[in-house]
C-alpha cells in the first residue's frame, strides 16, 4: 500500500450499491490506479475502505448520506486523472444504452410470446428432433422437421400422431416449404399462384418453384414431406394429407408431386388418391419412368418437364440453343464432372446423362449409375456434395461453398475433364453470394480450363437476385443454362460430340 | 407423464396456498426437536468435518465455544475433529441458515408458521455485516453479538410478535417486490417495512428499556435483516411440498460451501449433490476472486420459492453483478426462469413484467430439457474463516444435481 490515497466525498449523494461496485471496478483498472472503491459512507463501508487502504481523512468525515470515492494511485497525477474519470462515470457519460431482447428457449415459452403461431420448425440434432416435434404437435402446431438423422420409427410414430390430430408433419429432413407465400428454411421468393407443390426433396422443390416463378406464375402452397414419406414403412402419410389439403384449397388448381420413386404399396395408395381428386396432377418421380396413372395425372421425366407440364406444356429457355453453343466450343478432355450442392439437381442431371448413353458414377447414384469409386475418374462423375459424407461436422455446401472448393480445383486442373457442371442454389437460407464465390475461384485459374456450365436455381425476388448471380457467372466465363436439365443436356452434347 | 403433471399441480397448489406467518423468536433448542447438546446444524447437504470449507469450520468452532462445550477455539476444533460433535443439515430439522448456517441450541431462531398446513420452519437471526458467524467469524466480538441476539433482540422480538399476533410475510414480500427487493440480494424494502410495522409493538413491549434504541439501530443499519425471515418463510412454504409421490418439483436447493444439494418432492429426503460452483460477481474493495469460497448457504430456499434470482426483474440493480447490468438483462433472467418452472405466483408480482407473478415450482424435467440451471443471487464468503463477506454475485446451480435427480425420480417411479 505504497501509493497515494485520495478521497473525495460527495454530500447527499446516493447510488445503488451494485452500480457503485461496477463503477469501482471500472475505476480500479485505470492506468496508475492500485485500487479504488465508491461506497456510501456507512460505518461498515468505512471499515471496508480502511482495511483496503482506501480511506483518508476526508472519507472518515463522510456520513451515511454521502458518497466516498476512494482511490489509491501510484502518484497524485494518476489519482487526479482517476477522479476526473470517476466524475465522468457518475455523470453517466460512459453508460451504455439499450439492452438485450429476450428470446424464448422452449416451444412452451414461444407459444406465450406468439399465441397465434400454428407452425413450428424443428432444427435440432436428429436424436432430439422427434421429442421436440412431438411437443409441438401437442401444442397444436403443424411441424416442419429440418433435422435429419431422425430414426425411421420416430418418423412413423410422429406422422401417425399428427394424422390423428389432423396436423401436418413436414419432414424429417425437410429443407424447403412455402406456406401462405412465406418461404421456410431453404426456399425462394415465389409469387402466389394456382399451382400447389408437394415435394419430398428440397432442391427439386426449389428448381420447380423457381421455374414457375420465372414463367410469370406462382404457387398456392408448397408442402415438404421429407425424403422417406413415400417409403412403404411410412406409407405416404404426409403426402396423402397434403393432397387432401390442396384438394380442399380453392386457390390450388394444379398439383405437382415430386419424389423419388414411391414404395410399391404407397404408389398404389397415391395413385388411388390422385384418381379421386378433381384437380390435375403432374408427377415427377425422377428415376421412375413408367407407372399406370389415372387420366388427371401425368408423369414427367425431369424437374424442368414437371414445371413445363404444370404451366400448360410451355417450353423453357427456347433461346438456349444447345447445338449452336456446342458449335462455338473448342473441346478439351473427355469427362463430365458434376459438382452439386443440391441432391435432386444432381439426380436429375445423372438421369439426363444416362439417358444420353453415358456411363455415370456418383456418390448418390440413380438407377443406371454406378457407385463412385477410386477408379471412377475414367467415367463421368456426378457428386452430391450435400450428402452426409461431405457435410458431417460442417455446413451444407448451399450455406458454405467451401465444401466445393477442393473438388472444383481438382476438376479445373484435370486436363481429362471436358465439362464442369455446377448448380448455384440461391434463396433464403443459402449463401449470400454463391455465384460470386464460384467466380472468385475461376478468376484464379489462368490455364486453359474445361467448359463450365451452371444453372442458377432461384428467382429475382431472392436476396441474392438471380440475374445478378447469372451475370457474375457469365462474366467469369461460365455458360449459364436456364435450368439444370438444360445444363446437363449441354454437357451431354459436348461429350457426345467428342465421342464421335 | 400425466402422473407427474398431476403431482406437480398438487405441489404448485400447496406452494400457492401457503400462509407464512412470522410467529415468534425462540431459542433453537426449545423449538427444534433433537437439537441437543453436541449437535450442530449446518447449511447444505450432509458433510463431515473433514470436508468442510474454512468458513464452516470456523463457525463450528465458534458455536462450540458459544455453547460452552469447549473453553476455547483450539479445543473446540479438536472436539469437532475427534468426532465429538454430531453434524446434520438444517434441512433435516425443518430449519435453514444463511452461509455456514451454523445453528446450535442456545441461538435464537425466527419461527415461521405456515398456517395452511400447520408446519413451522426456523432460521437464525441475521447478524449484520462484517465479522459474523455465518461467514465463519468466531472471535469474542462475534460471540458477544450472538449473545446480544439471544439475550436482547430475540426476547424483544418474541414479545412484540406475540403481542401483534404474528406478521403476515406474504404481504410484506409482495410489497417488497414492488419496491425493488428480490429477497436474496435485496431486502432493504422488506427490512424497512418490517421495522415500520414492528416499531410500535416493540416500543410497547420494551417500555422504557434502553435497549430499544440499540434494537432499532441494529435492524435499521442492516439492509439484509429480512433475508433470514424470508428464508424461514421459504422453508415453511416448501416443507409441505416434500414427499408427494411422482412429483418432480424441487423442494430445496442448498450448499455447504463444498457441495450443492437438491431435494425433489417425489424422491423425499434423498440429496442429489455436485461440487458447488464459484459465483460470478463483484468484490468489495481489497478482495478478488482468489479470496472467494465456493457457493454456500441454505439461502437458495429463496430461489426455490420463486424469489431471488427468479425475481431479478423486480430488482434490476442486482443484474449488475454480471454482464452489462442493464434492466433488460434483469428481466431476461426472470423470463428464463419461467422456462424451468411450472407456474406463477399471483400473490408475488413484478411491476417490470406488467405485474406477472414470480416463476414458481422448479421442475427438474424442465431444467434438464432446457439445459437452463436455476439462477441464484448470492453473497460471496471469504475462503478463510472469520473474514466475512467479500462480494456478491450470481451463480448457477450445478446441472449434475438435476441430472441425478431426474434419474432418481425415474427410479422411484419404477418401470413404466
Summarize pLDDT for B85-103 with one digit per residue, the tens: 999 999 999 999 999 999 9
- Minimal-distance CA residue of chain A relative to B335: A102
Give me A242's grid cell.
397434403
The minimal CB distance from A18 to the residues B317, B326, B372 is found for B317
| Span of A294-308, B241-255, B318-332 with lowest mean pLDDT | B318-332
Q: Nearest to residue B379, comparing CAs of B159, B101, B177?
A: B101
Give me B302's grid cell.
429463496
The minimal CB distance from A105 to the residues B286, B331, B339 is found for B339
Q: What is the pLDDT of residues B382-394, one digit of tens each?
A: 999 888 889 999 9
Contact B336 A105 (CB under 8 A): yes
Chain B hits for A52, CB-CB cut-off 8 Å, are: 284-287
Contact B282 A21 (CB under 8 A): yes
The minimal CB distance from A100 to the residues B285, B332, B338 is found for B332
Contact B317 A53 (CB under 8 A): no
Chain A hits for B287, CB-CB cut-off 8 Å, are: 52
Which residues of chain B are at the A interface, by a Cβ-Cβ cutoff of 8 Å?
128-130, 185, 221, 282-287, 317-318, 320-321, 324-329, 331-332, 335-336, 338-339, 366, 369-370, 372, 391-392
Q: What's chain B's average pLDDT?
A: 95
The three-state DSSP-derived secondary structure of chain A is: CCCEEEEEEECCCCCCHHHHHHHHHHHHCCCCEEEEEEEECCHHHHHHHHHCCCCCHHHHCCCCCCEEEEEEECCHHHHHHHHHHHHHHHHCCCCCCCCCCCCCCCHHHHHHHCCCCCEEEECCCHHHHHHHHHHHHHCCCEEEECCCCCCHHHHHHHHHHHHHHCCCEECCCCCEEEECCEEEECECCCCEEEEEEEECCHHHHHHHHHHHHHCCCCEEEEEECCCCCCCCCCCCHHHHHHHHHHHHCCCCCEEEEECCCCCHHHHHHHHHHHHHCCCEEEEECCCCCCCCCCCCEEECCCHHHHHHHHCCCCCCCCCCCHHHHHHHCCCCCCEEEEEECCHHHHHHHHHHHHHCCCCEEECCCCCCCEECCHHHHHCEEEEECCCHHHHCCCCCCCCCHHHHHHHHHHHHHCCCEEEEEEEEECCECCCCCHHHHHHHHHHCCCCCCCEEEEEEECCCCCCCCHHHHHHHHHHCCCEEECCHHHHHHHHHHHHHHHHC
**DSSP-assigned beta bridge partners for residue B123:** B96, B110
User: For every one of its 500 residues, what pLDDT tens digit does chain A have, with 9 covering 90 and above?
Assistant: 578 999 999 988 888 888 899 899 999 999 999 999 999 998 889 999 999 999 999 999 999 889 999 999 999 999 999 999 998 888 874 455 556 788 898 898 899 889 899 999 999 988 899 999 999 999 999 999 999 889 999 999 999 999 999 999 999 999 999 999 999 999 999 999 999 999 998 999 999 999 999 999 999 999 999 999 999 999 999 999 999 999 999 999 999 999 988 988 999 999 999 999 999 999 999 887 788 899 999 999 999 999 999 999 999 888 999 999 998 988 788 999 999 999 999 999 999 999 999 999 999 999 999 998 877 778 899 999 998 888 877 888 999 999 899 999 999 999 899 999 999 999 999 999 999 999 999 988 877 889 999 999 999 999 999 999 999 999 999 999 999 999 999 999 999 987 76
Q: What is the pLDDT of residues B123-161, one digit of tens each?
A: 999 998 878 888 888 889 989 999 999 999 999 999 999
Task: Give the torsion sign (CA, A389, A395, A396, A397).
Answer: negative
Stated pTM of the model: 0.80
Task: Give the torsion sign (CA, A255, A256, A262, A268).
Answer: positive
The pLDDT value given to residue B416 = 58
The minimal CB distance from A18 to the residues B286, B318, B332 is found for B318
| Span of A332-336, B36-40, B44-48 with lowest mean pLDDT | A332-336
Residue A172, preceding bond cis, omega within 30 degrees?
A: yes
Confidence of residue B205 (pLDDT cuts 50, 70, 90): confident
Residue B38, sorted as left (phi over 0), alpha (psi -120 to 50) or beta, turns out to be left
The minimal CB distance from A99 to the residues B282, B283, B327 is found for B327
Contact B339 A21 (CB under 8 A): no
Contact A18 B372 (CB under 8 A): no
- Residue A292: CB atoms within 10 A of its CB come to 9
* ipTM passes above 0.90: no
Chain B hits for A98, CB-CB cut-off 8 Å, are: 326, 328
Contact A35 B285 (CB under 8 A): yes
Chain A hits for B128, CB-CB cut-off 8 Å, are: 44
Contact A19 B325 (CB under 8 A): yes
- Minimal-distance CA residue of chain B relative to A132: B369
Chain B hits for A51, CB-CB cut-off 8 Å, are: 286
The three-state DSSP-derived secondary structure of B179-247 is: CCCCCCCCCHHHHHHHHHHHHHHHHHHHCCCCHHHHHHHHHHCCCCHHHHHHHHHHHHHHHHHCCCCCC
Tell me the CA distances in angstroms from B140 to B63, B72, B143, B144, B209, one per residue in order.
12, 10, 5, 6, 25
- Minimal-distance CA residue of chain B relative to A26: B282
Say yes or no to pLDDT of B1 above 90: no
The pLDDT value given to residue B130 = 75
Residue A49 Cα, gap to closest chain B Cα (Å): 7
Candidates B180, B285, B340, partner chain A, best to mutate (most A CBs within 10 A): B285
Contact A22 B326 (CB under 8 A): no
The pLDDT value given to residue A93 = 47
The minimal CB distance from A24 to the residues B285, B325, B329 is found for B285
Contact A25 B282 (CB under 8 A): yes
Candidates A14, A15, A17, A18, partner chain B, best to mutate (most B CBs within 10 A): A18
Amino acid at each position: 500500500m505504497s501509493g497515494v490515497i485520495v478521497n473525495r466525498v460527495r454530500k447527499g449523494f446516493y447510488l445503488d450499491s451494485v452500480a457503485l461496485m461496477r463503477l469501482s471496478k471500472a475505476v480500479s483498472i485505470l492506468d496508475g490506479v492500485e485500487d479504488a472503491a465508491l461506497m456510501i459512507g456507512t460505518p461498515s463501508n468505512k471499515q471496508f475502505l480502511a482495511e483496503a487502504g482506501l480511506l483518508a481523512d476526508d472519507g472518515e468525515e463522510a456520513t451515511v448520506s454521502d458518497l466516498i470515492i476512494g482511490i489509491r494511485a501510484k502518484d497524485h497525477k494518476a489519482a487526479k486523472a482517476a477522479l476526473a474519470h470517476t466524475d465522468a462515470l457518475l455523470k453517466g457519460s460512459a453508460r451504455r444504452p439499450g439492452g438485450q431482447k429476450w428470446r424464448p428457449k422452449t416451444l412452451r415459452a414461444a407459444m406465450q410470446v406468439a399465441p397465434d403461431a400454428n407452425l413450428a420448425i424443428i432444427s435440432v440434432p436428429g436424436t432430439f428432433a422427434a421429442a421436440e416435434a412431438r411437443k409441438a404437435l401437442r401444442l397444436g402446431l403443424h411441424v416442419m422437421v429440418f433435422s435429419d438423422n431422425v430414426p425411421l420409427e420416430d418418423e412413423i410414430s410422429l406422422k401417425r400422431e399428427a394424422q390423428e390430430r389432423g396436423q401436418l408433419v413436414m419432414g424429417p429432413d425437410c429443407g424447403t416449404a412455402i406456406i401462405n407465400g412465406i418461404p421456410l428454411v431453404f426456399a425462394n421468393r415465389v409469387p402466389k399462384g394456382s399451382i400447389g407443390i408437394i415435394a419430398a426433396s428440397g432442391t427439386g422443390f426449389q428448381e420447380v418453384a423457381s421455374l414457375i416463378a420465372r414463367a410469370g406464375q406462382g404457387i398456392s402452397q408448397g408442402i415438404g414431406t421429407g425424403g422417406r414419406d413415400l417409403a412403404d414403412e411410412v406409407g405416404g402419410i404426409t403426402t396423402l394429407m397434403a393432397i387432401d389439403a390442396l384438394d380442399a384449397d380453392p386457390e390450388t388448381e394444379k398439383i405437382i408431386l415430386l419424389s423419388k420413386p414411391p414404395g410399391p404399396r404407397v404408389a398404389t395408395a397415391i395413385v388411388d388418391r390422385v384418381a379421386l381428386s378433381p384437380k390435375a396432377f403432374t408427377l415427377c418421380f425422377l428415376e421412375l419412368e413408367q407407372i399406370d396413372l389415372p387420366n388427371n395425372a401425368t408423369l414427367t421425366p425431369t424437374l424442368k418437364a414437371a414445371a413445363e407440364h404444370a404451366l400448360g406444356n410451355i417450353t423453357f429457355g427456347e433461346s438456349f440453343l444447345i447445338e449452336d453453343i456446342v458449335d462455338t466450343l473448342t473441346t478439351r478432355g473427355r469427362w463430365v464432372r458434376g459438382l452439386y450442392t443440391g441432391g435432386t439437381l444432381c439426380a436429375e442431371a445423372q438421369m439426363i446423362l444416362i439417358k444420353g448413353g453415358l456411363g455415370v458414377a456418383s456418390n448418390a447414384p440413380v438407377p443406371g449409375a454406378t457407385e463412385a469409386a477410386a477408379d471412377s475418374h475414367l467415367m463421368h462423375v456426378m457428386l452430391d456434395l450435400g450428402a452426409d459424407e461431405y457435410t458431417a461436422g460442417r455446413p451444407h455446401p448451399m450455406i458454405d461453398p467451401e465444401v466445393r472448393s477442393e473438388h472444383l480445383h481438382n476438376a479445373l486442373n484435370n486436363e481429362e475433364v471436358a465439362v464442369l457442371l455446377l448448380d448455384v442454389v440461391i434463396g433464403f437460407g443459402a449463401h449470400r453470394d454463391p455465384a460470386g464465390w464460384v467466380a472468385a475461384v475461376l478468376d484464379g485459374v489462368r490455364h486453359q480450363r474445361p467448359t463450365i456450365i451452371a444453372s442458377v436455381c432461384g428467382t429475382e425476388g431472392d436476396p441474392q437476385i438471380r440475374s445478378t448471380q447469372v451475370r457474375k457467372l457469365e462474366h467469369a466465363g461460365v455458360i449459364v443454362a436456364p435450368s439444370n436439365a438444360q445444363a446437363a443436356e449441354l454437357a451431354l452434347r459436348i461429350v457426345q460430340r467428342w465421342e464421335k | 407423464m400425466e402422473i407427474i403433471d398431476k403431482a406437480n399441480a398438487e405441489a404448485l397448489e400447496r406452494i400457492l396456498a401457503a400462509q407464512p406467518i412470522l410467529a415468534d423468536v425462540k431459542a433453537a433448542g426449545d423449538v427444534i426437536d433433537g437439537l441437543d447438546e453436541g449437535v450442530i446444524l449446518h447449511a447444505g447437504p450432509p458433510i463431515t468435518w473433514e470436508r468442510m470449507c474454512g468458513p464452516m469450520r470456523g463457525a463450528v468452532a465458534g458455536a462450540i465455544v458459544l455453547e460452552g462445550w469447549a473453553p476455547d477455539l483450539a479445543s473446540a476444533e479438536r472436539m469437532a475433529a475427534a468426532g465429538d460433535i454430531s453434524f446434520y443439515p438444517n434441512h433435516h430439522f425443518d430449519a435453514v441458515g444463511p452461509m455456514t448456517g451454523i445453528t446450535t441450541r442456545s441461538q435464537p431462531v425466527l419461527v415461521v408458521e405456515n398456517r395452511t398446513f400447520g408446519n413451522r420452519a426456523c432460521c437464525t437471526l441475521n447478524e449484520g455485516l462484517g465479522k459474523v458467524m455465518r461467514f465463519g467469524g468466531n472471535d469474542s466480538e462475534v460471540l458477544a453479538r450472538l449473545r446480544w441476539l439471544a439475550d436482547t433482540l430475540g426476547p424483544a422480538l418474541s414479545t412484540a410478535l406475540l403481542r401483534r399476533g404474528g406478521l403476515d410475510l406474504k404481504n410484506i414480500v409482495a410489497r417488497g417486490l414492488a419496491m425493488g427487493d428480490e429477497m436474496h440480494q435485496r431486502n432493504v424494502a422488506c427490512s424497512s417495512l418490517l421495522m415500520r410495522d414492528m416499531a410500535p409493538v416493540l416500543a410497547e413491549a420494551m417500555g422504557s428499556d434502553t435497549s430499544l434504541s440499540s434494537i432499532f439501530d441494529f435492524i435499521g443499519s442492516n439492509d439484509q435483516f429480512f433475508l433470514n425471515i424470508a428464508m424461514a418463510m421459504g422453508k415453511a412454504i416448501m416443507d409441505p411440498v416434500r414427499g408427494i409421490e411422482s412429483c418432480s418439483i424441487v423442494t430445496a436447493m442448498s450448499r455447504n460451501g463444498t457441495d450443492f444439494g437438491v431435494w425433489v418432492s417425489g424422491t423425499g429426503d434423498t440429496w442429489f449433490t455436485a461440487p458447488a460452483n464459484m459465483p460470478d460477481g463483484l468484490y468489495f474493495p481489497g478482495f478478488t476472486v482468489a479470496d472467494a469460497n465456493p457457493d454456500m448457504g441454505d439461502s437458495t430456499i429463496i430461489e426455490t420459492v420463486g424469489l431471488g434470482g427468479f425475481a431479478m426483474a423486480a430488482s434490476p440493480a442486482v443484474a449488475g453483478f454480471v454482464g452489462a447490468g442493464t434492466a433488460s438483462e434483469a428481466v431476461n433472467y426472470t423470463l428464463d426462469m419461467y422456462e424451468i418452472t411450472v407456474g406463477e405466483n399471483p400473490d408475488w408480482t413484478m411491476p417490470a413484467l406488467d405485474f406477472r407473478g414470480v416463476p414458481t415450482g422448479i421442475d427438474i424435467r424442465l431444467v434438464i430439457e432446457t439445459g437452463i440451471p436455476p439462477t441464484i443471487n448470492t453473497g460471496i464468503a471469504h475462503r478463510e474463516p472469520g473474514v466475512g463477506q467479500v462480494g456478491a454475485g450470481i451463480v448457477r446451480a450445478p446441472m449434475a444435481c438435476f441430472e441425478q435427480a431426474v434419474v432418481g425420480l425415474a427410479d422411484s417411479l419404477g418401470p413404466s
